[in-house]
Chains A and B, each alone.
Chain A
């Protein structure tokens, strides 16, 4: 199944997404958790820890540095640029805004 979680800021999108992902993994699903927020915090709710969540590499960085070009497939990109969260959930962060936009 493919699930999208949306809502106003602060209502609990990330907490619910992370807990759903962990629960599904515990009941036997292979789970890919995609953090598509440009202020990505899903790692915290998945149990990766705040400081690590703050420093996770993103797919966008990988694309900009040209690393992804060496990855022939989506699966390869997930393998290389994802992070393991507890219960075997694989976490992939798309992008993070953490500096002033020069443009």
Chain B
């Protein structure tokens, strides 16, 4: 298979919109099309681990990658993006690597802060890491507009804003899109999740624009979540998973278009 072109994607949106489900399924589907995929769990909730079908880690993964430096944390000598992924990333099916900022484990906050600090330092160096130049990056962000405002995905050239057909979700998506579109050189695409035909029309009216892709409301996604299995493993031929596979193709086309134009 020809080497797939590297994509740089961040997935944002309101809480509960389906960011982790879409990011995880997207990452797996990209890997199946030949991408080398690094998934980045930027949310201190374990959603991405589940939607990727990655092994659960009980410890905040990156806590060992840093040492105290005054009141801050500093990456240990010799640890950059490459070594961080080698040592601290887990491997999900289809060869997806997952680097996770860590989830509070109930043993005090320090390991989590250390892990999150290490994670942020690593992702800010990802762009300059030659090893990852040909890798596709998929970031699952924390809920709401804050990750966009502070740019928690400096590696991303494409922001997928997940929106469902409710006002709370639409206003959140509009806030996020306003912020990401205020930065030059980034593409912001709205993705409707849990869409019915009437919901899609209503949401596009509330948004004031067309969405890039729509993923249908699908009971299979809820069943997969209840079973604790990745949607792409639990229901590979469900309408929602198929829609995400089509989204992958649309993102590849959009990426080629951008390259031709520039």
Contact = CB atoms under 8 A, between A and B. Distances in A.
Given A37-B144, A39-B175, A53-B171, A100 B16 contact: no
B172 interface: yes
Contact of A38 (B144, B167, B183): B144
Nearest to A7: B15
A69 to B, nearest CB: 26
Given A8-B15, A14-B168, A39 B178 contact: no
Contacts, number: 66
A5 interface: no
B16 A98 contact: no
Given A10-B14, A10-B17, A100 B183 contact: yes
Contacts of B175: 39, 97-98
Contacts of A50: 167, 170-171, 206
Contact of B171 (A8, A54, A97): A54
B144 A97 contact: yes
B167 A98 contact: no
Contact of B45 (A8, A98, A99, A100): A8
Interface string B202-215: 00001000000000
A39 B14 contact: yes
A66 interface: no
5 contacts: A9-B17, A10-B14, A11-B16, A14-B168, A39-B145
Interface of B: 14-17, 45, 143-146, 148-151, 167-168, 170-172, 174-175, 178-179, 182-183, 206
Interface of A: 8-11, 14, 37-39, 41, 44, 50, 53-54, 97-101
